[in-house]
Amino acid sequence: MGLLSLGTPLVWDEAKQYADHVRSHGITQFLHIWDRVKDRCGDELLWGDEIEYMVAVFDDQEKNAKLSLRQTEILAKLQAIVNDIVFDRGESDSVPTFHPEYGRFMLESTPGSPYTGELRDLLSVESNMRYRRHLARKYLKPNEIPFTMTSFPRMGVPGVFTEPYYDPVDAVSSHSLFLPEEITNPHARFPTLTANIRRRRGSKVAINLPLFIDTHTPRPQASSAFSWPLLSELNHTPEAKKGAALIDHIYMDAMGFGMGCSCLQITFQACNITEARRLYDALIPVAPLMLALTAASPLYRGYIADVDCRWDVVSASVDDRTEEERGLKQQPLKENRFRIPKSRYASVSLYISEYWMNQPAYNDIDAPYDSAIFERLRKHGVDELLSKHIAHLFIRDPLVIFSESIDQDDTTSNDHFENIQSTNWQTLRFKPPPANSPIGWRVEFRPMEVQMTDFENAAFSVFVVLLSRAILHFNLNLYIPISKVDENMARAQKRDAVHAQKFYFRKDVFPPGPSQPSSVVSSCPSTPVSEHGGPILVNGVNGKEKKLRNCYPLPPKPDDAALPAAVEDEYEEMTMEEIMNGKGASFPGLLNLVYTYLETLDVDEESTRRIEEYLDLIRRRTNGSLRTAASWIRNFVRSHPAYKFDSVVSQEINYDLMVAVDEIERGVRKAPDFLPEHCVRSKQ
C-alpha cells in the first residue's frame, strides 16, 4: 500500500504547497533511473504474488463474525516468529513476509523471495500460500481466523462489526457515518491519506453500488429518497441531501470501504524496458477478463449488491478529484489544471509499447497529461509514448508528504517519484527499478479479486504467469482500443458477468504468417538473447525448454503486415467461453494458447497433472460448471433459512457464511458447485 515512511505528515493545506516540488523532483528522480538503466537487458524472470487477508473474530455465543482490529499486535508477533524461523534456518529466502495494509483488520503477505522461472517454483505457489496462512493462523487467538475474502459483508452496519467496538462518531479523518476512525491502520500515512483525499476533493467520497432488488426489498417512494431504510439514516447529512446517496443503491462514504477490500496481485520482472512495456500493453485487455473470472465481492454494508466486484468501490473510495476536475462545473477551469475523466484508482488509460503492433488508434480516450513534464521528458530523450504515460500519471497531486522528506537526494532516492506513481492505482502498473537497486523493470498485474482458498489463488496466479509467457513466446497481438477495455471493465463487474456479458476482444491475435495454434510454435522466435547479446542455451529434452523465461526478441514488422481499413474490424464481442476456449479458425482461445505454450516446455507427468488441475478451475469457472466466488456467496445468502429476500445480510447469515468459508478453505466442507474435488488433496 505505497510508501510507509516515518515522519510528520502534512495536512492538505500544507501539502498542496509542495505539490509542484514533489512532481518536479519526482521527474528528476525518474530521469536519473532512466539514465542508469534504460539500456539494462538480460534480467531473468522473477515474479511474485501479494495476498491480502482480513482477520475476523468469532463470537459463537452471539453468532457474530467481526473484524479484529489487532493488526499492530498481530504483525509484531508474526515478525518475531519470522525472525526466529530465519535464525533457525540460517536464511530468509524461504520465509514469507507479512506487511501492514490500510485496514487495521488486514494483513498482506508475500513469498520470502521472488519465484524464478523454474517449474518447481510455479508448482510451489499453493504450498507457499498455505504456509503463509498457516503461520498467520497459528499465532492468532483461538477465535480469530485469517480470511482471503475480497470484502467483509457487514463492514459499516449499525451495531457491532469490529472487535473491539468503536463508535463512528469520532471518525475525524474520513467523517464517515459508518466506519470508526480506529478501523484504519494507525500509521500516520493512512489517516492522513484518508483526510487529504477528502479535503482535496472538497467533500467526503461518495460510493454508490446498485442494490440487488429481491422479492421483498423495500423500495423508495417517488417523493422522497429518504423514506427508505437504506437512506433514512442519512437524512441529517447535507452531502446525502445534495445527492451523494443514490436511490436503490448501497451508499458508502469512506476510503475504508474500498481500501478495506482485499485482492491478489502478480508482479513480473522483465528482461528489459522494451519487454516490460510490451507485457504491460498485452495484459491491459486481459485485466477485465480476470476481474470477471475472479469476481468475489457481492456484499457490502450488510446488503446484497447488484454487482460482483470491488473495482468501482475502491475507485470511488479514493477519488480525490474536485468538482471542476470531475467536469461538474461547466465554466473554464479556475482552481484546477485539468479535467480528469477517471479516479486515481481506475483502468489503464494509455498503451506504452513502441512495438509496431501498438497503433495510435488504440489510445482513443481522453488521457490528459502535463505538457511541461511531457516536454521535459522528451528533451531528455524519453520517447513520446513513455513520456506521455509519465506525464499522465503526474497530473495528480501527491497526497501524503512527510515534512522530513521534502528535500531528497534525487540521485539516490525515488521517493518523490513513487509518491505519485504508487497512488495511481490502475489495473496494471509499469514499475521502473528502484534507485540503486538490483531489481529490474517490472509489471504489476492488479485487477484480480482475492479468492477464498489457496487453491484458487494459486490457480489464477499460475494461469496469469503462463499466459504472460505465451504472449511473449508467440508474440501475440491482443490490442483493442482503450475505450473498449474501459467498457469491458464496466461489464466485468456486473452480476454473473462471466456468463451474462460479452466482452470486446481481438479476432486474430497472431502476427502475420501462420495463424493456427499447431503452427505457432514453429513460427515464433525461439532464441532468447542474454545481457551480453549472445544466445541463452535451451537445456531441455527434444529442444524443449526447462523453465519459463524472459528475453524473447521482437521480430521486425513483417512486409505483409497490412493494417486493416478500420480498427473496428480487428475486434468483436465474444463470450468469456469463446475468449478462453476459442472462436473460429483464427482465435484458439487463451486457455488453448497456454496449453500450446506448455508443449514447448519439458514438463514431467506429475507437473503436467498439477498444472492441469489449475487450468481446469479456470475452464470450469468459464463454462459455468463451477460458480465464481461472488455467485457462490450470493447463492449462500439467498438460500439461508434466515434470509427474508429483502437484500439484507443479517448478523446470523454473515456468521454462518464466514464459518462456511473457513470450512471450505480448510477442506472440511464440500462445495461441489464451487470447487473441484481434487483441490482438497493437500489440505492440512
Computed over every residue of the chain, the mean pLDDT equals 91
Rounded to whole angstroms, how far apart are CA atoms 280 and 412?
Answer: 26
Share of the chain above pLDDT 70, in %: 90
C-alpha cell of residue 682 = 493437500
pLDDT, residue 85, reads 83
Nearest Cα residue to 417 out of 402, 434, 438 = 434
Q: Is the pLDDT of residue 282 over 50?
A: yes
* 354: its cell numbers: 513502441
- Going by C-alpha positions, the residue among 585, 575, 352, 589 that lies closest to residue 476 is 589
Beta carbons of 484 and 504 less than 8 angstroms apart: yes
| pLDDT mean over 381-404 | 97
SS3 sequence, 435-486?
A: CCCCCCCEEEECCCECCCCHHHHHHHHHHHHHHHHHHHHCCCCCCCCHHHHH
Predicted confidence at residue 331, as pLDDT, reads 81
Cell of 459: 490457480
Per the structure block, which three cell numbers stand in for 555? 521480430
Look at residue 679 in the predicted model and tell me its pLDDT. 76
The residues with which 162 forms a beta bridge, in sequence order, are: 67
With cut-offs at 50, 70 and 90, classify the pLDDT of residue 680. low
CB atoms within 10 A of CB 568: 12
**Is the four-CA dihedral 77, 80, 81, 82 of positive or negative sign?**
positive
Amino acid letter, 566? A
Q: With beta carbons less than 8 A apart as the criterion, state whether 112 and 75 touch.
A: no
Residues 6+ apart with CB under 8 A from 507: 570, 571, 572, 583, 584, 586, 587
State the SS3 of 209-231.
EEECCCCCCCCCECCECCCCHHH
- Look at 189-203, 286-300, 472-486, 500-514 and tell me which has the smallest mean pLDDT: 500-514
Q: What three-state secondary structure class fits 580?
A: helix
pLDDT at 535 over 80: no
Task: List, for residues 449-489, the tens digit of each pLDDT value.
Answer: 999 999 999 999 999 999 999 999 999 999 999 999 999 99
pLDDT at 323 over 70: yes
DSSP lists the bridge partners of residue 249 as 210
pLDDT score, position 499 = 97
Tell me how far apart the alpha carbons of residues 393 and 368 are, in angstroms, rounded to a whole number. Answer: 9
Estimate the share of the chain in helix, then strand, then coil, as percent rounded to the nearest 5.
Answer: 40, 15, 45
Evaluate whether 595 touches 436 at the Cβ level (below 8 Å).
Answer: no
Does position 2 have pLDDT exceeding 60, yes or no?
Answer: no
pLDDT tens for residues 350-376?
A: 999 999 999 999 999 999 999 999 999
Average pLDDT on 7-11 reads: 92
Identify the sign of the CA torsion 558, 564, 566, 572. Answer: negative
Q: What is the DSSP letter of 515?
A: -
What does the pLDDT look like over 23-53, one tens digit per residue?
A: 999 999 999 999 999 999 999 999 999 999 9
pLDDT at 4 over 90: no
> Which DSSP helix (H) or strand (E) runs through 290?
helix 287-293
The answer to whether residue 563 scores a pLDDT higher than 80 is no
Angle at alpha carbon of residue 451, lines to 217 and 454, rounded to 5°: 145
User: Does the pLDDT value for residue 671 go beyond 50?
Assistant: yes
Which pLDDT score is estimated for 483?
Answer: 98
Of 56, 52, 78, 76, the residue nearest 66 (C-alpha): 56
**Distance from C-alpha of 587 to C-alpha of 577, rounded to nearest angstrom:** 12
Determine the angle formed by the axes of helices 371-379 and 384-393, rounding to 10 degrees.
Answer: 140
List the grid coordinates of 75: 504483525
Specify the pLDDT at position 532: 36
The pLDDT of residue 630 is above 50: yes
Residue 234 confidence (pLDDT) = 56
Q: How confident is the model at residue 229 (pLDDT cuts 50, 70, 90)?
A: very low
The CA distance from 434 to 593, in Å, is 33
pLDDT-derived band at 533 (thresholds 50, 70, 90) equals very low
pLDDT reading at 682 higher than 50: no
Please report which residue ranges of 221-270 form alpha helices under DSSP H.
Answer: 229-232, 238-239, 255-259
* CA dihedral of 170, 176, 182, 188, whole degrees rounded to 10: -100
- C-beta separation of 325 from 339 below 8 A: yes
**Which sign, positive or negative, has the C-alpha torsion 632, 633, 639, 640?**
positive
The CA–CA distances, whole Å, from 465 to 45, 119, 138, 295, 527 equal 10, 11, 30, 19, 20
Span 651-664, pLDDT tens digits: 999 999 999 999 99
Alpha-carbon span 2 to 9, nearest angstrom: 14
**φ and ψ of 64, to 5 deg:** -130, 120
Identify whether 164 is preceded by a cis peptide bond (ω within 30 of 0). Answer: yes
What three-state secondary structure class fits 143?
coil
Asked if the model's pLDDT at residue 287 lies above 80, the reply is: yes
Mean pLDDT of 619-627: 97
Residue 539 in this model has a pLDDT that exceeds 80: no
Q: Name the DSSP class of 243.
A: I
Encoded amino acid at 287, one letter: A
What lies within 8 Å, CB to CB, of 225 at 6+ separation is: 231, 245, 246, 247
Helix boundaries (H) for 478-601 = 482-492, 497-500, 517-523, 576-581, 590-598
CA distance 51 to 95: 15
Q: What are phi and psi of 506, to 5 degrees?
A: -70, 140
Give the model's pLDDT for residue 371. Answer: 98
pTM over 0.75: yes
